[in-house]
Structure 1
Amino acid sequence: MKFSIRWKIFAAFILLTAAMGGVLYAYLVPILERHLVVDLSEHLFSQAGIAALAVNRESGELNRYAPRLAAEIGRQSKARVTIIAPDGRVAGDSEVPPEKLADLENHKDRPEVIQALQQGRGSSIRYSTTLRSEMLYVAAPINLGGTGTGTIRLALPLNSVDQLKLKLHSTLAVAILIAALIALALSSILSQLVYRPMRQISQLAAEIGSGNLSRRIQIRRDDEFGGLARVMNDMAERLQEQIHSLATERNRLDAILRCMGEGVMVTDNEGIMTLANPAFCALFDVQEEIPGRPLMEISRHPGLHDSFRACLQKKSEHIQEITIEIPAEKIVLTHWVPLLDGDRVSGVVAVFHDITELKRLEKIRKDFVANVSHELRTPVTVIRGYAETLLGGLLAEDPERSQQFLSVILNHSERLTALISDLLSLSEMESGNFNLKLGPVALVTTIRHAAELLEMGSNEKGVALKLGEIPERTTVLADQRRIEQVFFNLLDNGIKYTPAGGEVNIGVASSGADVTISISDTGPGIPLQSLPRIFERFYRVDTARSRELGGTGLGLAIVKHIVQLHGGSISVDSPPGKGAIFRVTLKKP
């Protein structure tokens, strides 16, 4: 059974009160009993002195008046009175008839008689064979004139003393009991006074333990409890400030982790996940709760676990690039850092950088550099070769052939000019400094002008340009010159890849706030695997044929950038063997 501190304090007071009462009772009883006997003896001595004076006043023979006088004094003093002659014979006794006095023993050798004759007073406690009980005897000498010195003795049975002692015990016990009850009442009040601040401090500690740090103790004391209450209040306030600071810091860290584009995870030294941010969950396509799950359950990629073990073993940073396929293939740069607790590794922090796009852009950059180098090297090499031949004397030796060489040099220089112009246009568009002069543009006029520029070339090749029904008032929000460049490039592309006898069709459809322009051809089409890359710079479905047709490989890339700068979109479909269809969607003014 569990007792509160209040009951323990109260029980301590009860035990202390009981112990003090017991000690006090044990100490006072014998003292008071001795004082009772002494007081009773003194009282008997006083009465014996008075009785001696009464005997001294008597005259005549002792045997005549002693029985009467002993009886009278006995009635007055309520004690047994014995008058003893100088020779020890009993002359009178208040408890013995005169005719039986001769049967009593000689009292000359009684201790109290001897002491009275020698010291003037005597007393003793002993058993009386006459009365058959313990008696208290006191004796005093009496002057009998010429016959000598006798003794008067007063006796009181101790059973009366025992009754007085019993009353004394009862009175003392009642007094101690009353004092104990008063002490217990005061103890209860005192224990309550002591317990109340302790209970308040205990409740405050319990509420602090449960997380309620706003509770405070009202301090109205200047003793130790008041000091303890102040300490508890200060501690609660400091804890509240620290927890608020920690919560703020944790919220800040949570916000940082949630906003990070890189995946972050924390594990213990057994590989059990303790923290992961949303970017990590998205990277590994994890929907369930991560904390508490083993790393092995998240991903079974061998490189991931090799990096984890390497970081634990080396107790140092570890960087490794891995490729995962969750759900699509991704290239991830992992950075592992051990959490050290002295010399012991308590866990690992890992940061995952998704560098798939960087790798793709790096590949595009490398392809771009290789393509530009190749596209520049071919015409430069041709121009250089023909120029060296002309400088070698061919110009004077064979003027007709020299003209052919000069024509080739001119064609390749024009190709270089077109390539450089397209590269500058792309660079300008991608730099963010490309300005468009937007305004309402009539589609029918713009498309017809682009078709007219290409009509001669299409007629020579035998490809028909067919313009569908376009309402005269159909307009789009665009830059006149740039949007015409889009249509020109798409029509030129369709004519180049459509064989003789084929056709290039142009259609316009309006829907809500958008206008969609479709340009289709009847050429060989675009292979399915090439469709995602068709708008990349220098990408060619058929490299040899594209160069033969004189393209730079940048036309569709320029078209895509111009359309996107207008806030529109472009897409391509190519049913197998049925040519290609390019769709450009632009906004109405």
Structure 2
Amino acid sequence: MKFNIQWKLMASYLFLVLFIGGVFFAYLSHTLNRHLTSEIRQNLTTETRLTRMIAHRDIVRMRDDAPVVASAISRATRARVTIILADGTVAGDSEIAPGDLKGLENHLDRPEIQQALESGSGEAIRYSATIKTPMLYMAVPLETATGEKGFVRLSLPLTALEQAKGSIRTLLAASLAIALLVALILSYILSRVTSRSLRTITILAKQIGKGNFSRRVPVSTRDEVGELALVMNDMAERIEQQMERTSAERNRLDTILRGMGEGLMVSDANGMITLVNPAFLELFSLDRNVEGRHIIEIARHPALNDAFKAIVASRDERIEKMTLALGKEKHVLTHWVPLLDNGELQGVVAVFHDITDLTKLENIRRDFVANVSHELRTPVTVIKGYAETLLDSLMESDPERARKFIEIILSHSERLAALIGDLLTLSQLEAGNMNLEQATVRPEQVAKHTMELLEPKAAQKRIAVDCSGVEGAPAVIADPGRLEQVMVNLLDNAIKYTPEGGSISFTVKADNGMVRIGVKDTGPGIPAKDLPRLFERFYRVDAARSRNEGGTGLGLSIVKHIIQLHGGTVGVESEPGKGSEFWFTLKQA
């Protein structure tokens, strides 16, 4: 059971009153008991001496006069009077008839008689078997006028004393009960007044515990409770300021963590995750319930767990690259930093940089350099070789053969010029330096003009080109020259890879304000693994055939960048053995 401060204060007040009252009760009871006993003894001593004087005067023969004198004195003193001979024989007793005195035992060995013999006065308190009650006995020596010696003894029953004590105890108990009742009322009032401020402080402390720091305790006194209220108010204000600063820091940290492109993970020394940012969750394709889980649980990749174990063992910073199989292969650069406090490892911070795109770009750059070098080397080597042959006087010795060499040199120089031109065009497109003269264009007209340009090349391979698919197609917003360049590249590729006797057709589909235009052929198709890289520079599915056909490997990349400048997209749909369809989208006019 829980007791509040008011009841504790009230109980302490009552206990104090009860303790003091008990002490006073015991003290007064003892003091009054001693005082009453002393008074009774003094009175009985005085009466005993008076009785001796009367007995000395009135008794002539103790055996004859003692019963009468004892009865007379007893009526006057209201005490039991006993006259005893020197040999201990009872001569008279106010409570016993004279005829019954012979049956009494000898009183010489009574304590009060023995004290009277020794000191002239004796007293004793004991239970009287004669009258069945505790008695106070007082005895003094007696000598009659005739010279007989003996003792006169007065006794009083202690029943009156016990009654007096009981009355006193009752009075004291009643006084104590009244005092307790008054103390109960006063302690309730005082404890309530005293605990009011403490209750207010308790309420404030509970509010602070719940996060409400705006409450303040009213300061009504200047005692310790008032000082406590001031301290609590100051503490609440400081905590409120600190919480505001902490909240601002937390918000700033959350903003920084959310804005970080790199994944961040913080764990304790045992590998239990305590903090991650959204970039980390996105990198590892996780939900938000990762705090409290072990590193090995969120990404079952040995390299990750091995790196954590290594940083725990060495307690040094560690930077390494990892390739993680997370649905698709990802290249990650990790930076591990140990959290040390006085030499003790408290946790580990890991930053994950997703360098998949950088790695891909690096691979593309490396392929680009290799492809450009290869593409340039062939025409340059041919031109150089034939030019050197011509310099060796072939012009004069064999003019016909020299003319053939010059035609070869011209062909390769044109190929070289086309390659350089495509590179310059692609560079302009990627740099965004190419200005588009956009206008409303009819895809049907551009497709027919493109077909007329490439009709001789298609006729050589007996390939049928069908433009009926674009008849009545919605107009689009595009640069007419660049749109024609796109269609020429797509149709030229289709003619190159379509076998003799095949067919090529144009397709059109309008949806959500965009017009999709496609070039579909009946060629050999493209393997699925090559589809994602078809629009990269110099990427070829069949490199040998592409070079034999005179392609530069940049056409599809140029198509992609031109369409992207127009705000459209490009794509390809193909299945080996069933042909391919390259398509692009433009805004509908």
Q: Report what 1:357 is aligned to.
A: 357
- Structure 1 residue 515: Cα displacement: 3.0
- Structure 1 residue 266: Cα displacement: 2.4
* Cα pair 1:272 1:293 within 8 Å, conserved: yes
* Cα pair 2:383 2:412 within 8 Å, conserved: yes
Deviates more, 1:508-517 or 1:365-374: 508-517
TM-aligned CA distance change 1:90 to 1:476, over 3 Å: same
Distance in 2, matches of 1:171 and 1:521, equals: 126
Deviates more, 1:517-526 or 1:217-226: 517-526
Alignment of 1:9-24 (within 5 A): 9-24=9-24
* Cα pair 2:470 2:506 within 8 Å, conserved: no
1:276 aligns with 2:273: no
2:309 partner amino acid: R
Deviates more, 1:328-337 or 1:359-368: 328-337
Distance in 1, matches of 2:12 and 2:288, equals: 59
* Cα pair 2:444 2:467 within 8 Å, conserved: no
- Give deviations 1:225-281, integer Å, cap 9, x for gaps: 011112122222322332343334334433443444333222222222233334333
SS of 2:234 mapped into structure 1: helix
Alignment of 1:427-438 (within 5 A): 427-438=427-438
Alignment of 1:477-492 (within 5 A): 477-492=477-492
Distance in 2, matches of 1:125 and 1:192, equals: 61
TM-aligned CA distance change 1:82 to 1:312, over 3 Å: closer
Distance in 2, matches of 1:543 and 1:186, equals: 107
* Cα pair 1:82 1:90 within 8 Å, conserved: no
1:199 partner amino acid: R
Distance in 2, matches of 1:35 and 1:573, equals: 125
Q: Report what 2:559 is aligned to.
A: 559
2:273 partner amino acid: M
- Structure 1 residue 347: Cα displacement: 1.9
Alignment of 1:182-581 (within 5 A): 182-287=182-287, 289-468=289-468, 470-471=470-471, 474-510=474-510, 513-581=513-581
Aligned length: 514
- Structure 1 residue 415: Cα displacement: 1.8
SS of 1:434 mapped into structure 2: coil
* Cα pair 2:425 2:558 within 8 Å, conserved: yes
- Structure 1 residue 220: Cα displacement: 1.5
- Structure 1 residue 14: Cα displacement: 2.7
TM-aligned CA distance change 1:126 to 1:302, over 3 Å: closer
SS of 1:297 mapped into structure 2: helix
Distance in 2, matches of 1:555 and 1:210, equals: 68
2:408 partner amino acid: V
- Give deviations 1:76-121, integer Å, cap 9, x for gaps: xxxx999989xx9589x9x959xx9xx999xxxxxxxxxxxxxxxx
Distance in 2, matches of 1:164 and 1:502, equals: 141
- Structure 1 residue 342: Cα displacement: 2.0
Distance in 1, matches of 2:136 and 2:328, equals: 121
* Cα pair 1:468 1:508 within 8 Å, conserved: no
Distance in 2, matches of 1:490 and 1:515, equals: 17
Q: Report what 1:588 is aligned to.
A: 588
Deviates more, 1:317-326 or 1:514-523: 514-523
Distance in 1, matches of 2:34 and 2:458, equals: 151
TM-aligned CA distance change 1:276 to 1:38, over 3 Å: closer
2:548 partner amino acid: E
Q: Report what 1:46 is aligned to.
A: none
Distance in 2, matches of 1:3 and 1:353, equals: 60
- Give deviations 1:471-496, integer Å, cap 9, x for gaps: 46742111111001111112222233
1:442 partner amino acid: R
Distance in 2, matches of 1:285 and 1:531, equals: 25
Distance in 1, matches of 2:502 and 2:160, equals: 152
* Cα pair 1:134 1:159 within 8 Å, conserved: no
Distance in 1, matches of 2:438 and 2:3, equals: 88
* Cα pair 1:263 1:280 within 8 Å, conserved: yes
- Structure 1 residue 417: Cα displacement: 1.7
- Structure 1 residue 37: Cα displacement: 11
Distance in 2, matches of 1:571 and 1:134, equals: 135
* Cα pair 1:17 1:184 within 8 Å, conserved: no
2:447 partner amino acid: I
2:481 partner amino acid: R
TM-aligned CA distance change 1:556 to 1:3, over 3 Å: closer
- Structure 1 residue 528: Cα displacement: 3.9
Distance in 1, matches of 2:296 and 2:470, equals: 62
1:352 partner amino acid: F
* Cα pair 2:21 2:176 within 8 Å, conserved: yes
2:521 partner amino acid: D
TM-aligned CA distance change 1:3 to 1:453, over 3 Å: closer
Per the normalisation by structure 2, the TM-score is: 0.74
TM-aligned CA distance change 1:81 to 1:159, over 3 Å: farther
Alignment of 1:93-132 (within 5 A): none
Distance in 2, matches of 1:195 and 1:317, equals: 58
Q: Report what 2:128 is aligned to.
A: none
- Structure 1 residue 373: Cα displacement: 1.5
Per the normalisation by structure 1, the TM-score is: 0.74
